[in-house]
Structure 1
């Protein structure tokens, strides 16, 4: 349920851009607010998880997130949009850190692969939210009203669910096991893999509806549906992930899916018809689906730190992809086209393909 409101935000970005009369570059700056908030929160997220435990971390993060996520749709300028998205990102980071740490603890203690399945359900939430957002867009319901309605409906079920989740008091690592080395080479390599995947996911969330609007002159509903298709195949891939991870090597699995993402990106950007472009978007969603959950599982088992600290550092570095992606794509699009801007994702995926060889879980 957590990402439903977030998913409903993405299809409304073209309308927000039109309402505020923002250029591609100005929109890129404004959209940086969400990853800036995420990045800021995750600088202290690991310590916060260790201090609060997962249940309180989830509860406080979810309440703040549901209050703040509709706020950007009420803003009247690009600068205010940036600030509102930064506040929403701060709360979103705490909520998602609580979810990831809880899943990593359960996976470790139960000795059962669940991380990809958990992210699959998260992707279903994004899918549902983006579908609802696309419907609201087609019905011309204002973004601020629709997001507020979804937040209000989600509040009680989400907080109730958070209170039912097992409260893990995240253990602090033994200082003799290398806590003084906060970032090790394996963690850096895993994070660089995550950077390339996150840059692609963030770009699809922020720009794919605008791409459809600019290139194919799609209606708001059809443009929003492009991200829904992307989310659908991300969810499908993640639900297959734990089964595939048990059968194939993690490194080969990650590399194969990144190759599929590269192929999908090229098809999506250079297809002559909207249907063919949707097929490319589907392959792109499938290709990036396993990236982050595989990285979380690998990072959470690295020795020397608590799983919360490793996951927080991974997420912090990975979300740099979200931080760098929107302005890079926006600036390139400002001086060329949105098609060329999105093509800039290909080097990021090539980098992820190279670093996929370093993904492995430790006993």
Structure 2
């Protein structure tokens, strides 16, 4: 991370503090919205009378939207700035969430698919832009921002899941739950988005950053960026698979009730929140490489226990390890990507890999779950996360890479 030592850090300037608060609020909205959908997944499945494979197809709507949002986000940021990109993504997110609620109450599978496509598109487009803004605030302030930014997302999932659990226990209608969250999210975003500078990420005319698609993709020729992309892909898959499947994994794979399955998901979200809000002191003490390596191994241990342990208590407690381990993967890797000569391209590229894994991977696990059960499908996640621990040297700060250029991995590959 490209931050100053803890003891020497200066307070945020007022303008930077406002920008930081705005992106924190927006990420909180995203977290609440996503968790509200996740905890009502079993209820939506029942309303649609869908099998595990059919739910995988429904979740593919999230993938279609996310790919559209993810692949277009960097270009929209370059052309119009992060603020407009976040506004477009936020509008898509809240509209899609409301549509999911209405369509599921009417038993319209196609409507839920479209709603999830809008949710995925909104998340993909806005979150890549907001990570670019977060990296810009880090570079301007010399302070860590991205771990806490993603912590706000996790805090939002805790709040959203807690509300969802209470409403599920009350048999509160899905439609009114999701529509209410969409309305509240709209109100919060209307304050937050205008606080973000319009010029963040905007390419200057005639500059090297005003590039074609082919030139933007050339960032992947750097071995370091490729390794960071693989790390974030693995740990984002660990996070995304839990976000999409954990309640059903506990209900169908371990025989828990729907309410208890939602409680377990809330424990996962709480572990993610604790891990992310603890990130700054851990990173300052141990550094990016050690924190990422331990994170991957701890997450792998938790997933292994959930998959292979037949004891419900052990499996439930292992979810905490799963969450703690996955917590810092995404923000620390993005922060490392931002520590480069072209932070907009690097952050956008690595974030794209992460969101592809987060949103596209879990629906594919549904197809595996249809044949091998959800516990069996999670073995894929376990293997990928364990392998990611071997690549974490790519997250070393620029100063350390400069002192050992032979192993820095910054030079373009052949």
TM-score by length of 1: 0.92
CA RMSD of aligned residues (A): 2.2
**Higher mean displacement: 37-46 or 313-322:** 313-322
Count matched residues.
361
Correspondence for 1:113 among 139, 144, 155: 144
1:65-112 C-alpha deviation (Å, 9 max, x unpaired): 212222123333544433321122112222212321111100001111
Inter-CA distance 176–313: structure 2 relative to 1 (3 Å threshold): closer
- Post-superposition shift, 1:24? 1.4
Give the structure 2 partner of residue 262 of structure 1.
300
User: Structure 1: how far apart are the matches of 2:364 and 2:126?
Assistant: 27
- Is the contact made by 1:62 and 1:159 (CA closer than 8 Å) also made in structure 2? no
Does residue 163 of structure 2 align to residue 127 of structure 1?
no
Q: Does the 8 A contact of 1:134 with 1:220 survive in 2?
A: no
Partner of 2:122: 91
Q: Is the 8 Å Cα contact of residues 302 and 362 (structure 1) preserved in structure 2?
A: yes
Contact persistence 1:53–1:167 (CA under 8 A): yes
Choose from 59, 62, 82 the match for 1:31: 59
What SS does structure 2 have at the residue aligned with 1:140? coil
Matched, 1:150 2:188: no
| Mapped partners of 1:53, 1:172: distance in 2 | 8
Distance 2:69 2:270 in 1: 28
Name the structure 1 match of 2:20.
Answer: none
Q: Name which of structure 1's ranges 219-228 and 280-289 shifts more when overlaid on structure 2.
A: 219-228
CA distance in 2, matches of 1:351, 1:77: 40
Q: Which of 330, 344, 357 matches 2:393? A: 357
Contact 1:115–1:293 at 8 Å: present in 2 too?
yes
Question: Does the residue aligned with 2:398 lie in a helix, a strand or coil?
Answer: coil
Task: Please say if 1:348 is aligned against 2:384.
Answer: yes
Name the residue aligned to 1:229: 267
How many angstroms apart in 1 are the aligned matches of 2:349 and 2:393?
20
Structure 2: state its 5+ residue gaps.
Answer: 1-27, 400-414
Say which SS state the counterpart of residue 220 (structure 2) adopts. coil
* 2:16 paired residue number: none
TM-score, scaled relative to structure 2: 0.81
- Which structure has the greater CA radius of gyration? 2
**Whole-Å separation in 2 of the counterparts to 1:263 and 1:249:** 22
**Is 1:193–2:231 an aligned residue pair?**
yes
Q: Which residue matches 2:287?
A: 249
Check if 1:63 corresponds to 2:91: yes
